[in-house]
C-alpha cells in the first residue's frame, strides 16, 4: 500500500509507492543507460595543464612550494566561477528598484568552484577518504572566507552536481560554493520546524530524529563516532541519503578536524553504496548550514527570516544530503511540490549498507 509521509525537518510530503516499481515504462532503457563519463578530455578546463583556462586560483592544496600558482601539481584547486550566478559585492553597486508587484535586487555574492582532484575520471565516490577530507576542509575554509568577503551574504551553500542528470555541465569532479543575500525559503521552512519542535519538546528536531532513527534502525545506512547516515523517512528520491553529525552544531564553519574526517569516511561509504547499486548514477550533494547572522550584512528579501532566530542562534543542526537522480520528477511533483518515490527508504537502506558489499 502507498503511504503519504511527512519529513519532520522540511515539512515536505512524499508518496512512498513501492507498487509503482512494476509499472510499464517505455523509456526505462533510456533512463537506465547512464551516460558514459569521458575518461579523458582534450578540452576539459579543470584538467592539470589547462589552469590558464580558469580564472586565477584563490587556493590550491598539494602543490610543492617551489611550484608556481596556476600550474599543475595540485590535489584540490579553488577558482572563481568563470560564469557566475551572482556577482561579487565589490562589483555590484547598482540599485535595482522594486515595485509592489515586481520585487528584485542585485544578485550579489561569491561563486567559487572547488576542483576536487587532478584526475579527470575520478569522482567523489571513487576518491579515497583522505582525499575527500582534503576536499571538505577546503570547502569549509572557502565558506568561511566567502562569508567574510561578501557583506551581502546571508546564506552560504556548498553543493555538487555529478552527472548531466544532476545538472553538471562538466564531467570533471567539482563542488560549488555560492553566497546569496536572500535566505532560501527551504532553510526558513526548516528553521520554523526546529523552533516548533523546540517549543513543544525543549529539544533539537534533528538530534531527536537521529536518536529515533538509531533506535528504530530500519533506515540506518552506516555510522561512525561523530556521524550517521540514513535514508530519510520521507525520501523524495530513490536512495536519498541524509548525513547527520552527532554533535549539535548549526554550521560546518564550526566543526573539528575529526568531524571533517569522519564525514569524509561516511560520505565515501555512501557514494560507493550508490555506485554499487547504480554504476555511474548522477547525484547532487548539498551541505545545509544555518544562515549567517544579520549584523552588518546587507541582504534583502528576508522579512520572513529576520528576527526568527535572534533568541536561538544555535537552533539549526547542520547536515548533508545526497540526492541521487535515478528517476525524473514529473507533473505531479511540479504541481504539488511533493514527490512520488517508488523505492521505500527501508529498502534503499538495505541496498546502500556497506555490509552488503
Ligand atoms: Zn578534466
Ligand atoms: Zn541537534
Q: Which of 257, 255, 281 has its CA nearest to residue 270?
A: 281
- Looking at residue 93, its pLDDT comes to 66
Q: Ligand 1 centroid vs 222 CA: distance in angstroms? A: 31
Q: Ligand 2 centroid vs 29 CA: distance in angstroms? A: 42
Cα separation, 215 vs 14, whole angstroms: 23
Looking at the 3D structure of the chain, how many domains does it have?
Answer: 1
**239 close to 326: Cβ distance less than 8 angstroms:** yes
DSSP, res 326 = S
Furthest-apart CA atoms within the chain: distance in Å: 64
Q: Is residue 35 part of a domain?
A: no
Q: Which ligand is nearest to the CA of 45?
A: 1
Grid cell digits, residue 205: 528536531
What is the chain's length? Answer: 357
Q: Which ligand is nearest to the CA of 250?
A: 2
Alpha-helical runs (H) found in 89-204? 129-149, 185-201
CATH number at residue 110: 3.30.428.10
Q: Is 24 a residue whose pLDDT tops 80?
A: no
Q: Which ligand is nearest to the CA of 249?
A: 2
- Tens of pLDDT, residue by residue over 248-298, are 999 998 899 999 999 999 999 999 999 999 998 999 999 999 999 888 777
Q: Ligand 1 centroid vs 119 CA: distance in angstroms? A: 7
Q: Ligand 2 centroid vs 271 CA: distance in angstroms? A: 24
Q: Ligand 2 centroid vs 302 CA: distance in angstroms? A: 24
Mean pLDDT of 286-315: 88
Q: Is 33 a residue whose pLDDT tops 70?
A: no
Q: Ligand 1 centroid vs 155 CA: distance in angstroms? A: 30
Q: Which ligand is nearest to the CA of 208?
A: 2
Q: Is residue 165 part of a domain?
A: yes
Sign of the torsion formed by the C-alpha atoms of 159, 165, 168 and 171: positive
Per-residue confidence at 203, pLDDT binned at 50, 70, 90? Answer: very high
- Looking at residue 356, its pLDDT comes to 64
Residue 190: strand, helix, or coil: helix
Q: Is residue 100 part of a domain?
A: no
DSSP codes joined into one string, 78-111: EEE-SS-SSB-TTT--------SS------B--E
Q: Which of 267, 188, 275, 178 has its CA nearest to residue 224?
A: 267
What burial class does residue 280 get, using C-beta atoms within 10 Å of its C-beta: 0-12 exposed, 13-18 middle, 19+ buried? middle
Grid cell digits, residue 352: 546502500
DSSP codes joined into one string, 43-81: S-TTSTT-GGGSPPPSEEES--TTSPTTSS--SEEEEE-
Q: Is residue 197 part of a domain?
A: yes
Cα separation, 161 vs 151, whole angstroms: 27
Comparing 49-53, 80-84, 260-264, 326-330, the range with the smallest average pLDDT is 326-330
Q: Which ligand is nearest to the CA of 244?
A: 2
Q: Ligand 2 centroid vs 308 CA: distance in angstroms? A: 17
Q: Ligand 1 centroid vs 174 CA: distance in angstroms? A: 10
Q: Ligand 2 centroid vs 244 CA: distance in angstroms? A: 9
Q: Ligand 1 centroid vs 168 CA: distance in angstroms? A: 13
Q: Is 91 a residue whose pLDDT tops 90?
A: no
Q: Which ligand is nearest to the CA of 203?
A: 2
- Tens of pLDDT, residue by residue over 218-239, are 999 999 999 999 999 999 999 9
Mean pLDDT of 93-116: 87
Q: Which ligand is nearest to the CA of 201?
A: 2
Q: Ligand 1 centroid vs 99 CA: distance in angstroms? A: 45
CB neighbours of 97 closer than 8 A, spacing ≥ 6? 104
Residue 291: strand, helix, or coil: coil
Q: Is residue 90 part of a domain?
A: no
**117 close to 92: Cβ distance less than 8 angstroms:** no
- Looking at residue 22, its pLDDT comes to 66
- Looking at residue 231, its pLDDT comes to 98
Q: Is residue 195 part of a domain?
A: yes
Q: Ligand 1 centroid vs 328 CA: distance in angstroms? A: 27
Q: Which ligand is nearest to the CA of 174?
A: 1
**209 close to 246: Cβ distance less than 8 angstroms:** no
**4 close to 14: Cβ distance less than 8 angstroms:** yes
Comparing 133-137, 156-160, 190-194, 295-299, the range with the smallest average pLDDT is 295-299
Q: Ligand 1 centroid vs 64 CA: distance in angstroms? A: 21
How much of the chain, in percent, has pLDDT values that exceed 70? 93
Domain that holds residue 147: 3-23+42-83+105-356
CB neighbours of 267 closer than 8 A, spacing ≥ 6? 124, 132, 136, 243, 285, 320, 322
> In the block, which residue shows the cell 528576508?
302
Q: Is residue 33 part of a domain?
A: no
Cα separation, 246 vs 209, whole angstroms: 11
- Tens of pLDDT, residue by residue over 188-201, are 999 999 999 999 99
Query: Phi then psi for 227, rounded to 5 degrees?
Result: -140, 155
- Looking at residue 303, its pLDDT comes to 86
- Looking at residue 300, its pLDDT comes to 80
Q: Ligand 2 centroid vs 209 CA: distance in angstroms? A: 9
Q: Is residue 291 part of a domain?
A: yes
Q: Ligand 1 centroid vs 161 CA: distance in angstroms? A: 15
Amino acid at each position: 500500500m502507498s503511504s503519504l509521509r511527512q519529513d519532520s525537518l522540511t515539512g515536505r510530503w512524499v508518496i512512498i509507492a513501492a507498487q509503482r516499481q512494476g509499472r510499464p515504462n517505455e523509456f526505462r532503457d533510456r533512463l537506465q543507460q547512464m551516460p558514459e563519463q569521458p575518461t579523458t578530455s582534450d578540452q576539459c578546463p579543470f584538467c592539470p595543464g589547462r589552469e590558464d583556462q580558469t580564472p586565477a586560483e584563490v587556493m590550491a592544496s598539494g602543490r610543492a612550494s617551489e611550484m608556481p600558482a596556476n600550474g599543475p601539481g595540485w590535489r584540490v584547486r579553488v577558482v572563481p566561477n568563470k560564469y557566475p550566478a551572482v556577482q561579487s559585492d565589490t562589483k555590484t553597486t547598482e540599485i535595482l528598484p522594486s515595485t509592489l508587484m515586481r520585487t528584485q535586487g542585485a544578485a550579489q555574492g561569491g561563486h567559487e568552484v572547488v576542483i576536487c582532484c587532478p584526475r579527470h575520471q575520478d569522482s567523489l565516490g571513487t576518491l579515497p577518504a583522505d582525499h575527500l577530507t582534503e576536499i571538505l576542509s577546503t570547502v569549509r575554509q572557502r565558506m568561511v572566507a566567502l562569508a567574510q568577503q561578501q557583506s551581502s551574504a546571508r546564506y552560504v551553500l556548498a553543493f555538487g552536481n555529478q552527472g548531466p542528470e544532476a545538472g553538471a555541465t562538466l564531467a570533471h569532479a567539482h563542488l560549488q560554493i555560492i553566497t546569496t543575500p536572500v535566505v532560501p525559503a527551504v532553510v526558513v521552512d526548516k528553521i520554523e520546524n526546529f523552533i516548533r519542535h523546540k517549543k513543544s519538546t525543549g529539544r533539537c528536531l534533528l538530534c531527536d530524529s537521529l536518536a529515533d532513527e538509531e533506535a528504530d534502525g530500519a533506515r540506518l545506512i552506516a555510522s561512525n563516532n561523530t556521524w550517521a547516515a540514513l535514508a530519510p523517512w520521507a525520501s523524495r528520491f530513490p536512495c536519498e541519503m541524509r548525513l547527520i553529525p552527532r554533535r549539535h552544531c548549526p554550521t560546518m564553519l564550526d566543526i573539528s578536524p575529526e568531524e571533517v574526517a569522519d564525514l569524509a569516511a561516511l560520505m565515501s561509504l555512501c557514494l560507493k553504496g550508490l555506485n554499487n547499486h547504480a554504476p555511474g548514477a548522477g547525484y547532487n550533494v548539498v551541505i545545509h548550514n544555518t544562515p549567517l547572522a544579520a549584523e552588518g550584512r546587507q541582504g534583502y528579501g528576508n522579512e520572513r527570516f529576520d528576527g526568527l532566530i535572534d533568541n536561538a542562534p544555535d537552533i539549526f543542526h547542520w547536515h548533508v544530503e545526497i540526492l541521487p537522480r535515478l528517476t525524473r520528477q514529473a507533473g505531479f511533483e511540479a504541481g504539488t511540490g511533493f514527490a512520488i518515490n517508488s523505492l521505500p527508504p527501508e529498502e534503499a537502506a538495505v541496498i546502500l549498507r556497506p555490509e552488503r558489499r
